[in-house]
């Protein structure tokens, strides 16, 4: 039985852990506080309390990794909440702590935030040109992952929806919203989990993938329609032009492992 250690069992990491357990993997999972530990244990995850800081890792990281065949990095940059957070430094520390002698694989969950908002249509071969600090850090972290181990795989996730999470909840009833004509780059949790399970099951290491729904809708139209269908107050978008053109394409997964998105419309009613 393979052991998978998920660093960050939050909204996505915990659901992924659950799916891996159901497939027969043993799963170590981490949260940052003692009070969340029991919730992991309750679904069969071997729980750890770990916190990756800029210059140290708090908790028993050694034991978390000792039997791991795969480590999945599933914690966000956290810069919005803590402007002093240095995500790239944190990922570098995680990598430096991995046992170099072992065959432990690394599945690094990154973000389409590595691309700048005005980069237009981009695919896995496009050079990311981040235009925000968080994007620069995400990219630096990716480079560290690739430099550490050529067998590591990076999955850049689109905006996550599902399981009670959807941007329409924040946008409903808001006024003065920009970028009505910008494409959406969303992906449903159910598709993300199926995607990551396939990467693991099929041993797809040493790759960079985009996990983003192939249906890119116009922000203004999409969120207005979602509000109408769900009886929410309508959002008001500004009419002027916007240069937010980023459209992130997944041009690999269908070809490499026959992946099909099941919930490509990313509708609120499916969350």
Ligand X SMILES: NC(=O)c1ccc[n+]([C@@H]2O[C@H](COP(=O)([O-])OP(=O)(O)OC[C@H]3O[C@@H](n4cnc5c(N)ncnc54)[C@H](OP(=O)(O)O)[C@@H]3O)[C@@H](O)[C@H]2O)c1
Would you tell me which residues interact with ligand X (CB under 6 A)? 8-13, 30-33, 36, 50-52, 74-76, 78, 90, 109, 111, 157, 159-160
Per DSSP bridges, beta strands 57-58 and 51-52 are antiparallel
**Nearer to ligand X among residue 75 and residue 237 (C-beta):** 75
**Nearer to ligand X among residue 59 and residue 234 (C-beta):** 59
**Nearer to ligand X among residue 109 and residue 199 (C-beta):** 109
Minimum distance, C-beta of residue 210 to ligand X, in the bound complex (Å): 11
Is the dihedral angle over the CA atoms 164, 112, 65, 106 positive or is it negative?
A: positive
**Nearer to ligand X among residue 36 and residue 234 (C-beta):** 36
- For residues 220, 221, 225, 228, the Cα torsion angle rounded to the nearest 10 degrees is 50
Report helix angle 87-97 to 133-148, nearest 10.
20
Minimum distance, C-beta of residue 74 to ligand X, in the bound complex (Å): 5
Minimum distance, C-beta of residue 66 to ligand X, in the bound complex (Å): 18
Structure tokens given for 144: 């560290």
**Nearer to ligand X among residue 66 and residue 236 (C-beta):** 66
Is 120:247 a contact under the CB 8 Å cutoff?
A: yes
Minimum distance, C-beta of residue 218 to ligand X, in the bound complex (Å): 19
Q: Which of 21, 44, 48, 55 is nearest to 32 (CA)?
A: 48
Minimum distance, C-beta of residue 113 to ligand X, in the bound complex (Å): 7
**Nearer to ligand X among residue 80 and residue 269 (C-beta):** 80
Minimum distance, C-beta of residue 239 to ligand X, in the bound complex (Å): 27
Structure tokens given for 104: 């432990």
Taking CA atoms, 116 is separated from 124, 139, 205, 237, in Å, by 14, 11, 26, 22
Sheet of 26-31, strand order = 46-49, 26-31, 3-7, 70-73, 105-111, 153-157, 208-211
């Amino acid at each position: 039985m393979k052991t998978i250690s998920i660093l960050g069992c939050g909204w996505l990491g915990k659901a992924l852990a659950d799916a891996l357990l159901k497939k027969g993997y043993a799963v170590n999972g981490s949260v940052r506080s003692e009070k969340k530990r029991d919730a992991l244990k309750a679904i069969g995850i071997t729980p750890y309390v770990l916190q990756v800081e800029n210059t140290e890792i708090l908790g028993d990281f050694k034991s978390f990794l000792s039997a791991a065949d795969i480590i999945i990095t599933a914690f966000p940059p956290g810069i919005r909440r803590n402007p002093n957070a240095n995500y790239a430094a944190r990922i570098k520390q995680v990598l430096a702590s991995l046992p170099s002698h072992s065959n432990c694989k690394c599945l690094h969950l990154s973000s389409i935030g590595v691309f700048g908002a005005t980069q237009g249509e981009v695919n896995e071969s496009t050079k990311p040109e981040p235009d925000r600090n968080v994007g620069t850090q995400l990219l630096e972290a990716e480079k560290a992952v690739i430099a550490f181990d050529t067998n590591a795989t990076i999955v850049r996730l689109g905006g996550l929806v599902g399981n009670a999470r959807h941007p329409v909840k924040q946008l409903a009833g808001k006024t003065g919203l920009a970028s009505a004509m910008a494409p959406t780059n969303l992906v449903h949790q159910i598709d993300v989990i199926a995607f990551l399970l396939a990467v693991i099951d099929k041993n797809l290491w040493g790759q960079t993938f985009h996990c983003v729904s192939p249906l890119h809708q116009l922000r203004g139209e999409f969120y207005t329609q979602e509000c109408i269908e769900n009886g929410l107050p309508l959002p008001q978008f500004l009419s002027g032009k916007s240069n937010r053109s980023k459209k992130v394409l997944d041009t690999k997964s269908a070809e490499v492992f026959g992946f099909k998105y099941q919930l490509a419309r990313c509708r609120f009613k499916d969350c």
